[in-house]
Amino acid sequence: MINLTKLWDKLNTIAFKAIFIALNKAQVEELARAAQQRQAEGRALSPIDGELVAIKGNIALQGLATTAGSLAYATGVEPDNAPAVQRVIDAGAIPIGPANMTEFAFSGLGLNPHYGNSPNALDAESVPGGSSSGCASAISSGICDLAIGSDTSGSTRVPAAFQGICGYRATMGRYPMEGVVPLGASLDVLGPMARTVHGIRKLDAVMSAQAKHVGKSLRAQPFQLVVPDMEGLGISDEIMRMFDVCIETLFDAGVDVVRKDLPAILRTHQLFAEYGTLVSVEAREQVCRFLDLSDAQIDPQIKSRLEGVLPMTAKQVAYLRHQRAILQAEIEAQLQGGFLLMPTVPELPPRVVEVEKNIESFQKANATALRLTMITAFLNMPSLTLPVDPSKPSHSISVCGVAAQDEHVLAAGEEVEHLLR
């Protein structure tokens, strides 16, 4: 049974106040009463009936403004919930309110000078990860077990890795995107976040309207995990040691783990270095549709990123999109039905004091945090992030498949989680 008095008291403390931008207490209490009545009568609507869910602040919640973590952008009171939110409400879940986030979702570090920084529950001095920072903090802090974030280049997976929880980036188009403030339309997707892979599966089934999978075991068939050559991706010694131990554990448990050259991974990384990224161009175009960057009250770090985006010609954008299609086909052929296995992030999370006021340090740390996740986002690979050790920031791996393999990725990921625990 949910103790709402305890919940509100906790969220009102200094340590947790920055996790949510706003709270819709009246609706939460109404939905909680209804869920408790259903459970008492033995007629739960779904496996997530009665579960508290954090909703990222760029997703429409009826009766509240959608801010996308900004003071310069606000929709006014939303007349309706985003369809993905409505699906979880119809399944009996209880949205707490809009969770804090990086302004406009345009950073992987998770800081926000307007609404405060969500805490990293594993290390108070470290950044929480972003852009779905409040979602990760809500789960890691024990406020709820489920959250709906969004992921353009890693925004569910980076905070999940930094805070010892699970995050998922689905195949694009798996969830309805109406009612979500866009960042990079060619890359945006909603992302379930949870304490466990089973929680991800439950939320995914409801959000994707594939309820036949909810609550059922998706025990994976024998599968292969493919470890690519990661030389040149700048992964720290600590993370590589963690990853190597993880591989050894899985191999000893009988999993088919192979090391294999996957040229599409390094070619995507090199493409970003040479030509830039689609998300940067699309983000600037999106924000400039409703704001004048020179006048708007924007986080200086985010403003600097937006202003620093180099313009691309239509020909350059077309080239990146063409290369994306080629690389997506290549990674599918190279994996041959296996699943990519990589660390989620290349380094430990940076300290807040190191990046909060220093634009150069911020930009460098942000690029590092997103270095690996943005590759699989560009390749439209359903990607599940799960902790190897939930008590250690960045000790996280990602299991990734090719487009439309979502159920298989989640099944394989749940088996990996079981073997590592």
Cβ pair 168, 156 in contact under 8 A: yes
Query: So what's the pLDDT on residue 215?
Result: 53
Catalytic residue flag (residue 131): yes
Q: Of 46, 70, 126, 131, which residue is the catalytic one?
A: 131
What gap in Å lies between CA 296 and CA 357, rounded to an integer?
A: 19
Cβ pair 288, 342 in contact under 8 A: no
Per-residue pLDDT tens over the stretch 188-243: 999 999 999 999 999 999 999 985 555 555 566 899 999 999 999 999 999 999 99
Query: So what's the pLDDT on residue 213?
Result: 53
What gap in Å lies between CA 389 and CA 336, rounded to an integer?
A: 29
Residues carrying CATH 3.90.1300.10, the chain: 4-213, 224-420
Query: So what's the pLDDT on residue 296?
Result: 78
CATH dotted code for 4-213: 3.90.1300.10
Query: So what's the pLDDT on residue 32?
Result: 98
Query: So what's the pLDDT on residue 415?
Result: 98
Domain 224-420 is of which CATH architecture?
A: Alpha-Beta Complex (3.90)
Which positions ≥6 away from 232 have C-beta within 8 Å? 266, 269
Catalytic residue flag (residue 56): yes
Catalytic residue flag (residue 155): yes
Residue type, 152: T
Q: Of 155, 208, 383, 398, which residue is the catalytic one?
A: 155
pTM reported for the whole predicted model: 0.97
Query: So what's the pLDDT on residue 220?
Result: 65
* pLDDT averages per 10-residue partition of the chain, 421 residues: 91 96 97 97 97 99 97 90 99 99 98 98 99 99 98 99 99 98 98 98 96 56 95 98 98 98 98 96 94 88 95 96 99 98 99 97 98 99 99 99 97 98 89
The percent of residues above 70 in pLDDT, for the chain, comes to 97
